[in-house]
Amino acid sequence: MARPAGSVAADRAAPRLVTTARLPAGATVRDTDVVVVGAGPAGSTTAAYLAQAGLDVVLLEKSAFPREKVCGDGLTPRAVRQLIRLGIDTSPEAGWLRNHGLRILGGGMRLELPWPELATFPDYGLVRPRSEFDQLLARHAVKLGAALLERTPVGAPLVDDRTSRVVGVVATTDGGNRTLVVRAPVVVAADGNSSRLALALGRHQLATRPMGVAYRRYYASTRSDDTWLESWLELRDHSGGRDRLLPGYGWIFGMGDGTSNVGVGILNTSAAFRAIDYRALLRRWVATMPEEWGICEETARGPIRGAALPMGFTRKPHYSDGLLLVGDAGGMINPCNGEGIAYAMESGELAAEIIAQALARRTPAARERVLRSYPAALADRYGGYYTLARWFVSLIGKPGVMQFLTRHGLPHPTLMRFTLKFLANLTDPKDGDAMDRIINAVSRWAPAA
């Protein structure tokens, strides 16, 4: 089977870049404080906070809203906290389906784990289709003052031919008939796991970091109003007469609209990663579900879609020469649970804070000094935890380990509550319980790499 788009192999062919000495003839030129490329959760959050800080920001999106994205559509309390910080209404009346926590199935067990009660995070998660969620975030950024240009794909970074610094981007509008050059002292790449901007500057994905792949499909289902995110840990590959447990999980998230999001996510830490037909795997798993759920080929709504998941800082450096990477462009998905939206939004907030501070400095040298603090700030926030996460996913990729953990861990509720806190990265940094203190201490001790 071919590797999914955005894999390390697909990462090799870098797109071109454009220098200031060779601007496209007849291009429309627009100047701004910051240009953000990509209006997904990372880009829209970055733009929202930049606009809130009083900066002139242009947000470029290659598609038009609403648009599809491959995702489980489930948000943990970590992502919900970001929505609250942005001032977005998360009530059911505003179109959100709340969930209480995670339901885990495996090893003959069925365990419901409520989200932990913490001072730092809310005690509920949310579900919303990505087609609605991304549009909501982008429109919120516009409400705060960002300029959003849809159907404006970026083809190349604009590089100062004297300093090799990124000073803008070259895009096309009007269906590719007009060239638009947006110049800015700071450029943010929020253009996803196969980031064209990063590739053009030689920032390839790190082959030593974990990658995942997710495939999902919507089904009309009686489970649409389920208020738990459900995770099946015993995901098995039965192809070729084999029976092997895979390092990953299947999920069922009720959407509250008569459908459920059903999908599978697998890590590349297993030798089986490249040999699996993921669409067939999803179909086989769905075929085992109870008939009364209504999840079957006949109730499918739309095709099976898949995407690569860059995890644990897959691409570096996160800042250099005027270009910052946020979200999937910087490989910021949590390797433990495949969660990307929360980290996309958090990195966007952090990037915006640093950019605002940098642009308030009087000299180019002072601005650059602030911008260069971004990678260290990311490493300080996530580095140790992501190192632990990479060790964990490497461990569960070994034959027999996943099966042992499933069979011997699930019967112990206290251990599973600890595991939920660790895998979802939900702890209080101060005044937490013993579980929080252990996870926080080990994360601090782990080297940030």
Confidence at residue 272, expressed as pLDDT on a 0 to 100 scale: 67
Residues of the chain with pLDDT under 50: 1-14
pLDDT tens per residue, range 388-409? 999 988 887 776 777 777 777 7
Q: In this structure, is the dihedral angle defined by the CA atoms of residues 423, 427, 429 and 431, taken in order, positive or negative?
A: negative
Q: How many CB atoms are located within 10 Å of the residue 433 CB?
A: 15
Q: How many CB atoms are located within 10 Å of the residue 446 CB?
A: 17
- Residue 434: burial class (beta carbons within 10 Å; 0-12, 13-18, 19+): exposed
Confidence at residue 15, expressed as pLDDT on a 0 to 100 scale: 63
Q: Which CATH architecture has domain 18-98+129-206+312-385?
A: 3-Layer(bba) Sandwich (3.50)
CB 79 within 8 A of CB 126: yes
Confidence at residue 239, expressed as pLDDT on a 0 to 100 scale: 66
pTM for the whole thing? 0.93
DSSP 302-331: EEEEEEEEEBSS-B--SEETTEEE-GGGGT
187 bridge partner residues: 35, 323
Q: In this structure, is the dihedral angle defined by the CA atoms of residues 71, 72, 78 and 82, taken in order, positive or negative?
A: positive
d(CA 41, CA 32): 21
Confidence at residue 4, expressed as pLDDT on a 0 to 100 scale: 41
Confidence at residue 191, expressed as pLDDT on a 0 to 100 scale: 96
SS3 percent helix, strand, coil of the chain, rounded to 5, is: 35, 25, 40
Confidence at residue 160, expressed as pLDDT on a 0 to 100 scale: 94
Strand pairing category for 28-31 and 178-183: parallel
Element (H, E) at 401: helix 401-409
Tokens representing 272 are 């089986």
Q: How many CB atoms are located within 10 Å of the residue 395 CB?
A: 13
pLDDT tens per residue, range 431-442? 899 999 999 999
CB 192 within 8 A of CB 149: no
- Residue 431: burial class (beta carbons within 10 Å; 0-12, 13-18, 19+): exposed
Confidence at residue 241, expressed as pLDDT on a 0 to 100 scale: 65
pLDDT tens per residue, range 232-258? 988 877 666 667 777 789 999 999 999
Strand pairing category for 186-189 and 323-325: parallel
Confidence at residue 224, expressed as pLDDT on a 0 to 100 scale: 96
